[in-house]
Amino acid sequence: MAGTAALLTYFRRRLARSSRPNRIFEAVREVVTATGALKGRQRRALDSTVLDDAVATQDTVTQLIAAIRRVIRQVPGAAQVAAACCTAHDYADPGKPRIAWNDEQARAVLVDALVGDAIRLLAGLPEQARGEKAANAVGILALVAGQDVEPAEDSDGGDGRWRIAQRTAPDRMVSTVDPESRHVHKTRTHRQDGFKAHLAVEPETGLFTAVALRPGSGAAHHEGALAPDLLAEESAPVEVFGDTAYSSGTCRGALSSAGHRVVIKPAPLRPAVAGGFDLDDFAIDTAAGILTCPAGHTARLTGNTDKKRAIFGKICDGCPLRHRCTTAKNGRVVQIRPEHDLQAAARRQATTDPDWQADYRRWRPPVERAVAWIVTRGNRRLPSRTTPGSTPRRSPQPPHPDQPRTHPNRRHLDTRPWHGLDSPQSIHPPRKHSGHHKIFSDLLGVARPE
């Protein structure tokens, strides 16, 4: 059987709209359970990888114009409001206004005018119940109007004057075409635009036991925040292997509380002075609230439960070890987080337990190979994921990572969906390959469109 990538994309969207969007994963799960492929295999290796978006990153002006145009098209009554109060641009024209783009003052005036149009349009919309498309359009405009601007230099924010912000919003939307795409930093110097795929793999067989696709940045989408979700459907506690991305105290504590054996590489400590003492060189009694420094001086922990501090202050004056401890004029200050004891124990185990070290070296690397297999042959780049109401691409697209794949030397299990990023949008069914259309409908148990 042969078919086009557009056909696969069409059925993926129909699955997303159906009452059982995860039926493929459920069927594969049943097969794996019946065959016993994972019976007795209680190890899971976690990892993530960046998947590039296919849409172009938009600047502030482009986003504002596109978001205003969408509200005008999709919100009842918005066209009349825009005609009365939006004067910065001809919003029938999707292009940028004609200004001297090399003139900083002209750009600032334009941004101020566009933000003013957006605010007046949002304020003037009639009070009414809105459908999904209209609500999404209004929400995107509100986000775009605020994420890249701040009050003008001599403004308190109350006079309606705005300028481009002198910073980047931490969870900045990079395109109105794909509102969930984000700037992703895997390192300090390398940036991509797209999403993060989060994976749980059984390292001995290479089976993927859980997957999740999330925006590429934001605390809610961090590896440590998603690790418990990837293991939520395990029937019994497992051994969890992960790198330092999963080493936060919150993640480690959640996995330990669930009964899992945690084999996660601790994040390295950074000494206050290069080559000097780090946190583990202090004797810390969190129960008594006392810290003892390498020189034998003590200080009490004070502060709230989220982050306590021990201030040595003048005790550091004249200390022979000060040059290895701190360069602060007022002496060393040590901050202790609530999960300190758990993290300290993990660091000791990682450096002193040969069984832990052998397990980590053996069972952690397979997930890296699994990730490399996923992104090979151009699969790191995702097809455009259009939002409700926007025009879907008509050109053939590569299969989405949702689609089951086969590999001659590797069995593959996807038991959970790629969450949250498939918009439930209808597109016109393909007019060709009618035989394939019937085959896919029968395989998926989805009613054929009339």
Q: Strand pairing partners for 301?
A: 310
Query: Which of 294, 312, 345 finishes a domain?
Result: 345
Q: Examine residue 180 and state whether it is found in any structural domain, yes or no.
A: no
* Within-domain flag for 6: no
Could you list the mean pLDDT of each consecutive 10-residue stretch along the chain, which spans 450 residues? 64 80 83 87 91 67 86 90 88 82 80 84 86 86 75 64 61 63 65 80 89 80 89 91 92 93 93 92 92 93 84 91 92 91 93 94 90 77 48 33 38 37 37 47 50
260 and 370 fall within a common domain: yes
151 and 92 part of one domain: yes
Q: Which two tokens stand for residue 96?
A: 């940028």
In a shared domain, residues 28 and 76: no
Is the distance from CB of 64 to CB of 444 less than 8 angstroms? no
Residues 259 and 388 in one domain: yes
Q: How many CA atoms lie within 13 A of 45 on its CB side?
A: 22
Burial of 137 (0-12, 13-18, 19+ CB in 10 A): buried
In a domain, 148, yes or no: yes
Euclidean distance between CA atoms 160 and 266, whole angstroms: 48
What does the DSSP assignment read for 213-271?
Answer: EEESSSGGGSHHHHHHHHTTT-SS--EEEE-GGG--HHHHHHHHHTTPEEEEPPPPP--
Q: Which of 53, 77, 42 lies closest to 200 in space, CA to CA?
A: 42
Pairing type for strands 191-202 and 207-215 reads: antiparallel
Domain residues for 144?
60-164
Contacts of 165 (CB under 8 A, 6+ apart): 148, 149, 150
Q: Which amino acid is at 411?
A: R
Point out the domain boundary residue: 164, 179, 207. Answer: 164
Q: 215 and 130 in one domain?
A: no
Alpha-carbon distance 401 to 58, whole Å? 25
pTM: 0.65
Q: Are 163 and 150 in contact, with CB atoms under 8 Å apart?
A: yes
Residues contacting 88, CB < 8 A, separation 6+: 97, 110, 113, 114, 116, 117
Q: Say whether both 74 and 154 belong to one domain.
A: yes
Q: Verify that 254 and 398 share a domain, yes or no.
A: yes
**If residue 334 lies in a helix (H) or strand (E), which one and from where to where?**
strand 333-336
Q: Is residue 232 part of a domain?
A: yes
90 vs 196: CA distance, rounded Å: 37
What's the number of domains the chain is made of?
A: 3
Query: Which residues 6+ apart lie within 8 Å of 104 measured at CB?
Result: none
Residues 73 and 214 in one domain: no
**136 in the same domain as 86:** yes
Nearest to 51 by CA among 267, 406, 374, 397: 374
List, in order, residues 6 or more apart from 68 with CB less than 8 Å away. 82, 86, 89, 91, 114, 117, 118, 121, 141
The confidence score (pLDDT) of residue 307 equals: 81
Whether residue 196 sits in one domain with residue 68: no
The answer to whether residue 10 sits within a structural domain is: no
Residues 141 and 79 in one domain: yes
Q: Specify whether 310 is located in the same domain as 418.
A: no
Whether 356 maps to a domain, the answer reads no
Burial of 350 per CB tally in 10 Å (0-12, 13-18, 19+) = middle
